[in-house]
């Protein structure tokens, strides 16, 4: 296929049709006729030399080639939206939204103060937090759906296409609701029910690696999606677990939780700010980053 000038309008129509999987709905979104959508898709298919859609009765689906194209066009679409937003925000900070990806734990421990400070200075700029595990935040950032992500840094990833700024570290402790005897090493934990994070998190992967380094396998009795729930489960006597030291501190102080000390050093997880190198930062995002980096997270 010869390289031709890119007709962005065709890709815009394709994006709307592929997203809706309905030419009529795409036409309504674009304020054009359905026949105009069909003609544009035919033109793009002819230009690319592949079929992008196929019909089964009234159901419209993407072909394999169509799905591959959609994945790329979707990223481009979000980058275009980001570019428009960046231009708008150059004018003033009287409006706009900053889209941030962070887990519940990171939001609670590292972001609340900086968000409040930013809101006090720029009350008309909205901050939208997408609370997801770190791997999901990285994925959304790479697609251009987020302005920045604050994540647990995985030692197994290089983040080549992203810009990484270290923020802090998160220490973890092993705790129980009652004093526990007989646990001195990691190998002793398997005699007790372990409460842990789900497998789709960076923290879980790091602790699985921690176990493997010491010739053990992490076996859980209960798995939850957040440390808040894990702490509640431990407080109720369901088992023992590794939790962030900062979150456990008040419970350790009042005696509701008890520290279990083991000989192996428990992992300290790096927290970092990730930016998409290919996505322009709005003035609002830059202002928030300045506040976040200066915030006292110790």
User: Residue 18, exposed/middle/buried by CB under 10 A (0-12, 13-18, 19+)?
Assistant: buried
List of the chain residues with pLDDT < 50: 1, 296-298
Cβ–Cβ < 8 Å for 273, 294? no
Domain residue ranges in the chain: 8-71, 89-168+270-294, 169-268
Burial of residue 108 (number of CB atoms within 10 Å: 0-12, 13-18, 19+): middle
Query: pTM (2 decimals)?
Result: 0.66
- Which whole-number Å values give the CA distances from 122 to 107, 143, 173, in the listed order? 19, 27, 37
Tokens of 212: 């493997």
Q: What is the DSSP string of 221-274?
A: SEEES-HHHHHHHHHTTS-BEEEEHHHHHHHHHHTSSEEE--SSPPPEEEEEEE
Report d(CA 183, CA 79) in Å as an integer: 52
Q: Do the first three CATH levels of 89-168+270-294 and 169-268 match, i.e. the same topology? A: yes
pLDDT at 297: 43
Q: Note the pLDDT of residue 138.
A: 93
* CATH code that applies to domain 169-268: 3.40.190.290
CA 34 to chain CA mean position, Å: 36
Report which of 238, 123, 234 is spatially closest to residue 172, judged by C-alpha positions: 234
* Contacts for 120 with CB less than 8 Å, ≥ 6 apart: none
- With vertex at residue 202, the alpha carbon angle to CA 216 and CA 143, rounded to the nearest 5 degrees, is 150
Backbone angles phi, psi at 236, to 5 degrees: -80, -5
Digit-coded pLDDT (tens) for 60-116: 999 999 999 999 999 999 888 888 877 776 666 777 889 999 999 999 999 999 999
Q: Out of 3.40.190.10, 3.30.300.30, 3.30.1360.120, 1.20.1250.20, which CATH number does the structure's domain 89-168+270-294 have? A: 3.40.190.10
Residue 294, pLDDT score: 84
- The pLDDT score that the predictor gives to residue 4 is 59
Answer whether CATH 1.10.10.10 is correct for domain 8-71.
yes
């Amino acid at each position: 296929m010869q390289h031709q000038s890119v007709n962005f309008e065709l890709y815009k129509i394709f994006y709307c049709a592929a997203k809706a999987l309905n030419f009529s709905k795409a036409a309504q979104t674009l304020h054009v006729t359905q026949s105009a959508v069909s003609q544009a898709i035919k033109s793009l298919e002819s230009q690319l030399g592949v079929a992008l859609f196929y019909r089964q009765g009234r159901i419209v689906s993407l072909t394999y080639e169509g799905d591959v194209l959609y994945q790329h066009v979707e990223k481009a679409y979000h980058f275009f939206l980001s570019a428009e937003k960046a231009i708008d925000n150059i004018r003033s900070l009287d409006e706009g939204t900053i889209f941030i990806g962070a887990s519940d734990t990171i939001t609670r421990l590292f972001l609340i103060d900086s968000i409040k400070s930013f809101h006090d200075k720029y009350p008309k700029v909205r901050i939208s937090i997408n609370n997801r595990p770190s791997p999901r935040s990285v994925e959304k950032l790479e697609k251009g759906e987020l302005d920045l992500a604050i994540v647990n840094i995985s030692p197994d990833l290089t983040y080549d296409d992203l810009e990484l700024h270290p923020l802090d570290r998160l220490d973890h402790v092993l705790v129980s609701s009652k004093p526990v005897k007989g646990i001195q090493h990691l190998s002793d934990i398997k005699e007790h029910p372990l409460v842990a994070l789900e497998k789709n998190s960076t923290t879980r992967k790091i602790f699985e690696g921690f176990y493997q380094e010491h010739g053990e396998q992490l076996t859980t009795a209960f798995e939850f999606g957040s440390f808040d729930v894990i702490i509640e489960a431990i407080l109720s006597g369901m088992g023992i677990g590794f939790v962030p030291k900062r979150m456990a501190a008040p419970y350790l102080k009042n005696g509701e939780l008890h520290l279990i000390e083991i000989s192996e050093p428990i992992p300290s997880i790096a927290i970092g700010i990730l930016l998409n190198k290919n996505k322009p930062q709005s003035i609002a995002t830059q202002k928030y980053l300045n506040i976040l980096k200066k915030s006292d997270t110790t």
